[in-house]
């Protein structure tokens, strides 16, 4: 079977079978890394491997495998009809298959690809424009992001127990990788908003003391219970009496902007549909990786040490996610946008919960994307009821996206309106 037939192949009579393109994907990874089942990890690529070609081949095969898996969704729904013996055999086959992906879960694999990106970027910068055609097939960060974004989706779809945890653990704790992903996104989505960073920098000294974690045990205990109350009531930050260290942030002097407009990120106003294809996988990978890291990132690292991001960067990340999620839910989501939206919602919730516990964002940030377009609360509430009823009847496809808005992002509605 030649490559073109292999990529187009969708031979899959049952969920128990791995399609040919899936086996080819695993074989390419093993050949490139010298890995065999139960063997010791070599810790490097085979000598002379073209990393750019390797990444492009794996991406092509991975996208074809994902297309196959999407097309057999109806088979997955019948899995519950399998006997215990059939289910055990199936899980054993999948675990054996996924074991061949072990090299991509190793840190050396990622750092080797990033080193190749650095080399190609340096070579391209040193090459004259007339010779740039030579470097059109070289590796860049977006290619690496697409590589791992596809692998996350494959692990989530196939791994019966651990899901994408092996890849996420590696990505989250590779030094500098998240910062590098965010740098790529920030340069693209905030290139015209440098004044935001300048404004936060100029006021950083004013609020530096208040951005520290509260030291008094009694006050911290009170804040804890206030946050618990907010979680149950859905109360927004605008209705709290506790002081907001960033609450005095305003639009830059000399610019006639509503403060809320600063946090309504224009490239995200159409949801996932407005994101350039070249950055789609980068954004998905960033959201998935950062949400995983936030689960273990403590408050000292987040507020005092400010790693991996400064607080002004955290505000930008929160505003980007907030605008993306609200507009993605408002405009409706295609099936192909679901991995991005799921990871963005998860990351947004983790950041909002941290802000509820100890504010680092101005109240306008959370309200901003819906300020001009949110439906009346009565309409949104009724839609939410319909949405919930449809979910119970397993007919979520007919539910309105506005129901998702009030379910997933209730903070965009001011507490007084609710």
What pLDDT tens digit does each residue of the chain (418 aa) get?
A: 555 555 554 444 344 578 899 999 999 999 999 887 666 667 899 999 999 999 999 999 999 999 998 887 544 554 444 555 556 777 788 888 999 999 999 999 999 999 999 998 887 666 544 454 454 568 999 999 999 999 999 999 988 678 999 999 999 999 999 999 999 999 999 976 544 544 444 444 444 434 554 444 444 444 544 453 444 344 444 444 433 443 344 333 334 455 557 899 999 999 999 999 999 999 999 999 999 999 999 999 999 999 999 999 999 999 999 999 999 988 877 778 999 999 999 999 999 999 999 999 999 999 988 787 666 555 556 665 666 666 555 544 434 454 577 788 889 878 766 6
Domain boundaries defined on the chain: 3-73+82-125+136-174, 194-374
pTM above 0.75, yes or no: yes
CB 305 within 8 A of CB 313: no
Measured CA to CA, the distance from residue 360 to residue 299 in angstroms comes to 11
């Amino acid at each position: 079977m030649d490559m073109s037939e292999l990529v187009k192949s969708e031979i899959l009579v049952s969920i128990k079978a791995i399609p040919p393109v899936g086996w080819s994907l695993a074989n390419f990874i093993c050949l490139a890394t010298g890995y065999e089942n139960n063997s010791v990890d070599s810790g490097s690529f085979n000598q002379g491997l073209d990393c750019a070609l390797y990444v492009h081949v794996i991406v092509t095969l991975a996208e074809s495998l994902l297309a196959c898996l999407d097309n057999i969704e109806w088979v997955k729904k019948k899995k519950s009809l399998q006997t215990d013996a059939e289910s055990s055999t199936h899980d054993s086959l999948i675990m054996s298959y996924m074991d061949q992906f072990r090299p991509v879960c190793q840190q050396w694999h990622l750092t080797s690809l990033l080193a190749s990106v650095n080399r190609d970027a340096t070579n391209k910068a040193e090459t004259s424009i007339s010779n740039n055609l030579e470097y059109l097939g070289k590796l860049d960060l977006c290619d690496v992001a697409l590589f791992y974004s596809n692998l996350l989706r494959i692990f989530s779809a196939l791994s019966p127990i651990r899901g994408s945890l092996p890849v996420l653990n590696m990505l989250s704790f590779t030094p500098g990788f998240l910062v590098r992903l965010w740098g790529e996104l920030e340069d693209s989505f905030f290139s015209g908003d440098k004044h935001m960073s300048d404004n936060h920098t100029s006021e950083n000294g004013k609020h530096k003391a208040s951005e520290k974690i509260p030291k008094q045990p009694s006050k911290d205990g009170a804040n804890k219970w206030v946050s618990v109350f907010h979680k149950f009531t859905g109360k927004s930050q605008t209705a709290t009496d506790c002081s907001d260290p960033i609450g005095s942030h305003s639009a830059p002097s000399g610019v006639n902007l509503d403060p809320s407009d600063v946090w309504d990120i224009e490239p995200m106003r159409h949801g996932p549909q407005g994101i350039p294809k070249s950055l789609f996988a980068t954004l998905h990978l960033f959201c998935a990786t950062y949400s995983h890291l936030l689960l273990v990132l403590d408050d000292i690292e987040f507020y005092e040490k400010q790693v991996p991001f400064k607080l002004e960067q955290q505000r930008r990340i929160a505003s980007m996610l907030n605008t993306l999620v609200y507009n993605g839910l408002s405009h409706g989501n295609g099936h192909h946008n679901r991995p991005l939206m799921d990871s963005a919602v998860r990351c947004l919730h983790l950041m909002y919960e941290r802000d509820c516990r100890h504010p680092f964002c101005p109240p306008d940030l959370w309200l901003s994307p819906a300020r001009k377009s949110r439906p009346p609360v009565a309409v949104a509430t009724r839609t939410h009821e319909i949405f919930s009823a449809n979910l119970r009847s397993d007919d979520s496809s007919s539910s309105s996206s506005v129901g998702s808005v009030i379910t997933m992002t209730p903070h965009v509605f001011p507490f007084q309106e609710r």
